[in-house]
Amino acid sequence: MMEESFGRVDRIEVFILRVPLNFPFETSFGVQKEKEALIVRVDAGGVIGWGECVATYAPLFNYETTKTALHVIKEFLAPSLAKADTLAGVFSGFQLVRGHLMAKAALENALLDVLARQKGISLSVLLGGEKKTRIPSGISIGIAKDIPALIRTIEDALTKRYHRVKLKIKKGMDIAILEAVRDWFPHIPLTVDANANYTPSDEGLIGTMDGFNLAMIEQPYTYDDLYQHSLLQRKLSTSICLDESIKTIDDARTAMALGSCRIINIKQGRVGGLVNSRAIAEYVTKAGGSVWSGGMLETGLGRAVNLQLQTLPGFDAPGDTAETARFYREDIVEPSAALDTEGYIAVPPGVGIGVTVLEKRLQTFAIHHEVLFGIG
């Protein structure tokens, strides 16, 4: 795959979309009422491929934003594609740019889509995925200020047969919420995600969470820490899951060696794309850890990519790929990710990423459109 030619890149277009969410989604670093999404279209070898950059409008999850991603793609990454016709060549050029993994992932996704479409196969097959036709879906619920409303949301999720419930938490909005949820739902698969809101001084508070029979506690400490997490994991029976702290396979190696976590949430955009995701998953599972696929409020385009990723070996736990309709009234692709009656979402069956981008819908939501190079 790495040495196969996808042909000359003839054109790259970018769109920045602003898509309203169905409801405000709150995490420890803020509230989102809309999704600002950077979409990349690449024409190469007579085929069109698509990618979605998972960066957000502000540098809150990490330092990248849609605007920095556009700048890096336009000024540095896209020009390097004119000199490469294989993924190996692309990655070699990308190495000259430090960081900016979300920007790199968007282009890599589009090029992999091109390559899979040229071969007439799915992205899953191209990556070496297993023959999975559907993926168990988990639901991520924003920080709850109204516990009765939270209980109703969980009840609805269980009615729809979601396979796991994840609650966003932060200091002051944690233990009381867990007590209420466990009182109503003593046995459901439950996780919490702090998005780096706690510090080592909160060790006792986090230790209290051990009593709630959680599947994992996700990213309790700061976004770039591995060492303090290793000290915390030794004192908890509950598994720590790292998200923001894992950006490269070297981070994963260090985390596993230190015992910083037992589980890693692989967001393909955060780690630079699908090829890096596959390498991290292979390493972590061989080292005795577990992996699963998280989400970044992607449109249906990014959700399709995440579903293809979850066909790879090791991705056995329910991911955060909820159905698109939970977050968006209108999608930019068809078919949209939709739950079946057993809480699974079908892996898009077509070639490439498996979905069709609705270009008129892109124009509806676009606040910026630019041809980086190419005819017209």
* Mean residue pLDDT across the chain: 94
Q: Name the catalytic one among 132, 168, 235, 247.
A: 168
Provide the token pair at 170. 């932060």
Q: Which ranges of 19-127 does DSSP label H, i.e. alpha helix?
A: 66-72, 78-81, 87-94, 101-119, 123-127
- For the segment 335-352, the average pLDDT, to the nearest whole number, is 95
Residue 219 is predicted with a pLDDT of 98
Q: What percent of the chain has pLDDT over 90?
A: 86
- For residue 362, what pLDDT band results from cuts at 50, 70 and 90? very high
Q: Which residue has the tokens 């986090």?
A: 206
Our answer to whether residue 160 is catalytic in this structure is no
CB count, 10 Å around CB of 30? 12
CA distances from 355 to 222, 308, 334, 358 (A): 36, 11, 6, 9
In contact, 327 and 307? CB cutoff 8 Å: no
CA atoms within 13 A on the CB side of 298: 30
Provide the token pair at 20. 């309203």
CB count, 10 Å around CB of 144? 21
Q: Which residue has the tokens 């070898």?
A: 45
Residue 376 is predicted with a pLDDT of 42
**Of 103, 117, 134, 135, which Cα lies nearest the Cα of 356?**
117
CB count, 10 Å around CB of 187? 7
Our answer to whether residue 35 is catalytic in this structure is no
Classify strands 134-136 and 344-346 as parallel, antiparallel or unpaired.
antiparallel
SS3 121: coil
Where is pLDDT greater, at 319 or 144?
319
CA distance 277 to 290: 13
* Bridge partners, residue 361, by sequence: none
Q: Which residue has the tokens 């390493």?
A: 283
Question: Is the pLDDT confidence value at 232 over 90?
Answer: yes
CB count, 10 Å around CB of 50? 27
First CA to last CA distance, the chain: 31
Residue 144 is predicted with a pLDDT of 82
Residue 2 is predicted with a pLDDT of 83
CA distance 144 to 59: 23
CA distance 46 to 56: 31
CA distance 38 to 25: 19
Question: Is the pLDDT confidence value at 1 over 70?
Answer: yes
- For residue 112, what pLDDT band results from cuts at 50, 70 and 90? very high
User: pLDDT by residue (tens digit) across 76-97?
Assistant: 999 988 788 888 989 999 999 9
CA distance 214 to 51: 34
CA distance 106 to 355: 16
271: left (phi over 0), alpha (psi -120 to 50) or beta: alpha
Q: What percent of the chain has pLDDT over 70?
A: 99
Question: Is the pLDDT confidence value at 73 over 50?
Answer: yes
User: pLDDT by residue (tens digit) across 151-195?
Assistant: 999 999 999 999 999 999 999 999 999 999 999 999 999 999 999
Q: Name the catalytic one among 160, 267, 286, 360.
A: 267
Provide the token pair at 364. 């509806």
pTM of the predicted structure, to 2 decimals: 0.95
User: pLDDT by residue (tens digit) across 24-72?
Assistant: 887 877 788 899 999 999 999 899 999 999 999 999 889 999 999 999 9
